[in-house]
Amino acid sequence: MKTSVAIIGAGPAGLLLSQLLHVEGIDAVVLERKNRDYVESRIRAGVLEQVTADLLDRVGVSERMHAEGLPHDGFSLAVDGETFRIDMHRLTGKRVMVYGQTEVTKDLIDASIERGCKLVFEAEDVALHDVDSGSPSVTYVKDGVAQTLECDFIAGCDGYYGPSRASIPLDLLKTYERVYPFGWLGILADVPPCDHELIYSNHERGFALASMRSPTRSRYYIQAPLDADLNEWTDDKIWDELAIRLGPQAAANMTRGPSIEKSIAPLRSFVAEPMRHGRMFLAGDAAHIVPPTGAKGLNLAASDVKYLADALIAHYKQGSGAGLEGYSQKALSRVWKAERFSWWFTGLTHRFPNMDPIERKLQVAELDYLRGSEVGQTMIAENYVGLALT
């Protein structure tokens, strides 16, 4: 089988790239290791920057997002129970859309199937070959039969553990990583959210976040040790802790209910450079991971594939290779700015082990400064809604 672009991974990055190419008449094949049900059931983030929403508009896969998504003009920061609001729309003229990554994935899969795009689930033993040559290829096994996909280019959208990044020789690959000494214990429940916008809380007992997926489905998180035993964290214990950390106003508006999903996620900052080797290009979690504070993961993946799609379109439509040559540098410039914001926001809102009294006092002082500074709030707002694409 032959195609123009082989896309490894059917997460939002790979699926969105496929659609961006499809609307321009460029052939692509998406290979996914898992089955469709598994891909559509993964619980992920749910805050979309304007850039991401615009890309879904661009490929005509945004009808349900506009119908069911929740536009947010701001969010709140709570400090030991006292809350102040960051008015993103007033400060930047932009807003974000709360719409689950799971729903984005479902919409993109539905569009791929309806439009006859080539999407192969349960493609096992995927391997990349000759990526630094003019004729790369991908091999995989489907239903027990070995297959070869010849292509012009490969887009590695296969996440942190996929084979794409591993195809870059170690002497050419440089990685940067910070692993945080705590995780986010998350609970999903079919109850109304305690506020119409997100609340990020810095409390002496640790970080908490009140979020939502819809007007009737809430997503809450608390900072917890990485080795926390979920069996010990009963629903009642989590609700009690949320009520303390989020403060009395949020607690008074909180509706409790049974969890429908409970998990603990580690936090890390990770970047791989370069994001290109020969005719293979990395995008999304294959190249970088951010802590979920600030909601940059999906949005960075979307900006990656926007840059990559535009470069591929220029190659096929105009015969220009400049975009492909400059992809890694361009994408990494945005990646590092998002990494910086996520690192800073995590440090601002979390209690670190062995934090000494002066570090806590400095953290509280910075939050107090932000409460009264429009300049400081504008910095947060413009990063949260997403920096402009260059």
Instruction: Cite the DSSP H helix spans in 167-259.
Output: 235-246, 248-252
Tokens representing 248 are: 């009395």
Active site residue 296: yes
Determine which one of 277, 296, 306, 315 is catalytic: 296
Q: Is residue 36 part of a domain?
A: yes
Cα separation, 377 vs 374, in Å, equals 5
Per the structure, the count of domains in the chain is 1
Residue 328 lies in a domain: yes
Q: Which of 72, 203, 306, 315 is catalytic?
A: 72
Mean pLDDT of the chain: 96
Residue 127 lies in a domain: yes
Statement: residue 327 has pLDDT above 80: yes
Residue with the two structure tokens 């499809």: 22
Q: Is 200 a catalytic residue?
A: yes
Catalytic status, residue 292: yes
**The pLDDT of residue 46 is above 90:** no
Q: Is the pLDDT of residue 45 over 80?
A: no
Asked if residue 140 is part of any domain, the answer here is yes
> Cβ distance 300 to 387 under 8 Å?
no
Q: What is the pLDDT of residue 47?
A: 94
pLDDT in tens, 274-301: 999 999 999 999 999 999 998 999 999 9
Residue 390 clears pLDDT 90, i.e. is over it: no
CATH of the domain at 140: 3.50.50.60
pLDDT tens track for 63-80: 999 999 999 999 999 998
β partners of residue 70: 98
Q: Is residue 208 scored above 80 in pLDDT?
A: yes
How far apart are the C-alpha atoms of 11 and 64, rounded to whole Å? 18
Asked whether the predicted pLDDT for residue 44 surpasses 80, the reply is no
Residue 13 domain flag: yes
Confidence of residue 220 (pLDDT cuts 50, 70, 90): very high
Q: Residue range 340-362: average pLDDT?
A: 94
| 384 catalytically annotated | yes
Q: Which of 48-52, 69-73, 77-81, 149-153 has the lowest mean pLDDT?
A: 77-81
Q: What pLDDT is attached to residue 42?
A: 80
| Domain extent at residue 160 | 5-49+99-177+268-346
Catalytic residue among 200, 220, 316, 327: 200
Residues of the chain with pLDDT > 70, as a percent, come to 100
| Residue range 98-112: mean pLDDT, rounded | 95
Selected catalytic residue, list 136, 193, 291, 292: 292
